[in-house]
Structure formats: structure tokens, C-alpha cells
Chain A
Amino acid sequence: ETGVTQSPTHLIKTRGQQVTLRCSSQSGHNTVSWYQQALGQGPQFIFQYYREEENGRGNFPPRFSGLQFPNYSSELNVNALELDDSALYLCASSPGGAVADTQYFGPGTRLTVL
């Protein structure tokens, strides 16, 4: 069974640029959630996708957007990057439906905005 994978591992961008982060969910999982983890903080919920539809959104501006594909992999896009966007971006997958409790996290993508 393959766990949650994310790419790239690290990324350096400059302010104003756009970035796309990718996540492959665990086999059999139809729900993907994205979190932002600033240094020394707990993960903050960005949004969640369930069967290719956005299924909830945290307190993040519209320049944070996402997609989920038919194979349940997902992308996080961030436009007009700001310095405060520097963080570890985590993807988590879960079975969804009645067994929705456990979320399994990937290793994250470390984004640095200069």
C-alpha cells in the first residue's frame, strides 16, 4: 500500500510568482485536505476535496486554489505569492464517507518565498 506522496520536496519562489504543489493520495482514499504549517505552528486548514469537488475551505484568500483529479490526486495552486506564504504545505488523505476519521499526511512541500 502506497502512502501519501507530495512533490516537490522543496521549492523557492519570488514574491508575485505562482506555484503548483502536487499530492498523490493513499490508495482507496477519496478525500484530500491541504494544510499550511508555518514554522513553529500547528497545521492550518486550507481546503478539502472529496470526489473532485471542494468540500470545505479555511480562512485563506482566493489566490489559494486547488483541484482534485479522477484518480483522487490533487494540486494546490497559489497565485501572487507573498512572503508570508513561506511554510510547509501538507496534504492529507482519508477514506471519506462513513470512515472519515483518520487523516494520513504526506511529508510536505517546503515553500520559501523570497
Chain B
Amino acid sequence: QQQVKQSPQSLIVQKGGISIINCAYENTAFDYFPWYQQFPGKGPALLIAIRPDVSEKKEGRFTISFNKSAKQFSLHIMDSQPGDSATYFCAARFPGNTPLVFGKGTRLSVIA
């Protein structure tokens, strides 16, 4: 049973456009939802994270929108750039010092 479902699997966006990646989770006990960015041959790097008591969080060009009732959250990348081309993972975590549960990833390509 996949606890965190991510879509789409791949995404192509024009430079300057908005990239949107969606995730849905099963367990309402999750209380922390990060997004990671991974370049080929590198480990995942934390991009932005949110807790369920907040509906939106913005850091620079990256925004997380969180819908607690729908058990969904999404990553929006504004003014997408070729340097944003990478694989993006959503994740969820139970309270405390617990491991991350990852989605399967979205491969983003930003074309000029």
C-alpha cells in the first residue's frame, strides 16, 4: 500500500512557466510534509516543507499548497528555469523522530 502518491510521473514546462506537482497521502497522522529536489548522481536536497496547520508556505519561487480535508498537497514552482530540471519527491512523516515516506518522484524538464 503506497502511503504517499505523487503525480505526474514526468512534466515538461516552458521556461518562465509554472510547474505543479501533486501529492496525496493516506494517513492523517502524518504531521510534516517536505519536498525534496534531486539532481542526477546526487542525494535529495530539502526544498521546502509544511505542517498541516498551515494551508500555504512560500519560499522564493517555491510554494507548497496544503489541503488537509482532501489529504493533498502540491508544489508550485513559479517562473520555472532550466536549472530547475530535476526529480522532485514529496514525502510525509509521522510525529517524532521517524523516517520519511516518499512518493515515487516527478521528473521535471524545463525547456527554453
The 8 Å CB contact of A58, one of B43, B97, B99, is B99
Given A33-B99, A40-B105, A50-B97, residue A101 in contact with residue B44 (CB < 8 A): no
Least CB distance, A32 to chain B, in whole angstroms: 11
A6's nearest neighbour on chain B, judged by CB, is B43
Bin the interface of chain A by size.
Answer: 20 to 34
Please, what's the 1-or-0 string for A97-114, where 1 marks a CB less than 8 Å from any CB in chain B?
Answer: 100111111111000000
Q: What A residues does B99 contact at CB under 8 A?
A: 33, 35, 45, 48, 56, 58
Chain A residues whose C-beta falls within 8 Å of the C-beta of B102 in the assembled complex:
42-44
B105 touches A107 (CB 8 A): no
Decide if B34 touches A102 in the complex (CB within 8 Å): yes
A42 and B104 contact, CB distance less than 8 A: yes
Residues of A within 8 A of B41 (CB): 107
Chain B interface, DSSP helix/strand/loop, else mixed: strand
Contact between B97 and A55, CB atoms less than 8 A apart: yes
Contact of B44 among A6, A43, A97 (CB under 8 A): A43
- Whether B45 contacts A45 by the Cβ 8 Å rule is no
Query: A90 within 8 Å of B by Cβ?
Result: yes
Distance in angstroms between the alpha carbons of A78 and B44 in the assembled complex: 22
A31 CB within 8 Å of chain B: yes
A/B interface sample: 13 pairs, CB < 8 A: A31-B97, A33-B99, A42-B91, A43-B102, A48-B97, A90-B43, A96-B97, A100-B96, A104-B46, A105-B36, A105-B43, A106-B43, A107-B43
Binding site for A on B (CB under 8 A): 6, 32, 34, 36, 41-46, 49, 89, 91, 93, 96-105
